[in-house]
Amino acid sequence: MKFKGIMVICDGMGDRPHPGHGGKTPLEAAETPFMDRLADQGIVGFMDVISPGIPPGSDVAHLSLFGYDPYEYYTGRGGFEAVGAGLTLSPGDVAFRCNFASVKEDFTVMDRRAGRIREEAEKMVPAIREIKLDVEGLTYEFHHTVEHRGVLVLHGDNLSRQVSDTDPHKVGERVLRSAPLEEGVAAERTAEALNQFTLKSYEVLRNHPVNLNRIKQGKPPANIILSRGAGTLPKLQPIPQKYGVKASAIAAVALVRGVCKVVGMDLIDVPSATGGLDTDYSAKAEAALRSLKENDLTILHVKATDVASHDGDFEMKRHVIEKIDDMVGTIFRNVKGSDVYVAVTADHTTPVTVRDHTGDPVPFLLWGPGTLRSGVGRFCERTARNGNAGRIRGPDLIHELMNYMGFSQKFGF
**Which residues form the interface with Zn ion (CB under 5 A)?**
11, 58, 306, 347
Minimum distance between the CB of residue 12 and Zn ion, rounded to whole angstroms? 5
Minimum distance between the CB of residue 253 and Zn ion, rounded to whole angstroms? 9
Minimum distance between the CB of residue 13 and Zn ion, rounded to whole angstroms? 9
Q: Identify the helix (H) or strand (E) that includes residue 300.
A: strand 297-302
The CA distances from residue 234 to 21, 63, 68, 185, 244, in Å, are 42, 10, 11, 21, 20
Minimum distance between the CB of residue 255 and Zn ion, rounded to whole angstroms? 8
The CA distances from residue 367 to 98, 176, 208, 362, in Å, are 41, 50, 57, 17
Helix, strand or coil for residue 340?
strand
For residues 69 and 182, which CB has a smaller minimum distance to Zn ion in the complex? 69
Q: What residues have CB less than 8 Å from 65, skipping those under 6 apart?
A: 7, 9, 49, 345, 347, 394, 395, 397, 398
Minimum distance between the CB of residue 413 and Zn ion, rounded to whole angstroms? 40
Minimum distance between the CB of residue 347 and Zn ion, rounded to whole angstroms? 4
For residues 14 and 264, which CB has a smaller minimum distance to Zn ion in the complex? 14
Backbone angles phi, psi at 101, to 5 degrees: -135, 170
Q: Which residue is nearest to Zn ion (CB)?
A: 58
Minimum distance between the CB of residue 246 and Zn ion, rounded to whole angstroms? 25
DSSP 130: T
Q: Identify the helix (H) or strand (E) that includes residue 196.
A: helix 185-205
Minimum distance between the CB of residue 371 and Zn ion, rounded to whole angstroms? 26
For residues 214 and 301, which CB has a smaller minimum distance to Zn ion in the complex? 301
What is the rounded distance in angstroms from the CA atom of residue 407 to the CA atom of residue 413? 16
For residues 30 and 346, which CB has a smaller minimum distance to Zn ion in the complex? 346
For residues 28 and 306, which CB has a smaller minimum distance to Zn ion in the complex? 306
For residues 11 and 400, which CB has a smaller minimum distance to Zn ion in the complex? 11
Q: Identify the helix (H) or strand (E) that includes residue 204.
A: helix 185-205
- Burial (CB < 10 A; 0-12, 13-18, 19+), residue 157, is exposed
- Burial (CB < 10 A; 0-12, 13-18, 19+), residue 371, is buried
For residues 165 and 306, which CB has a smaller minimum distance to Zn ion in the complex? 306
The CA distances from residue 65 to 347, 393, 398, in Å, are 7, 9, 7
For residues 169 and 174, which CB has a smaller minimum distance to Zn ion in the complex? 169
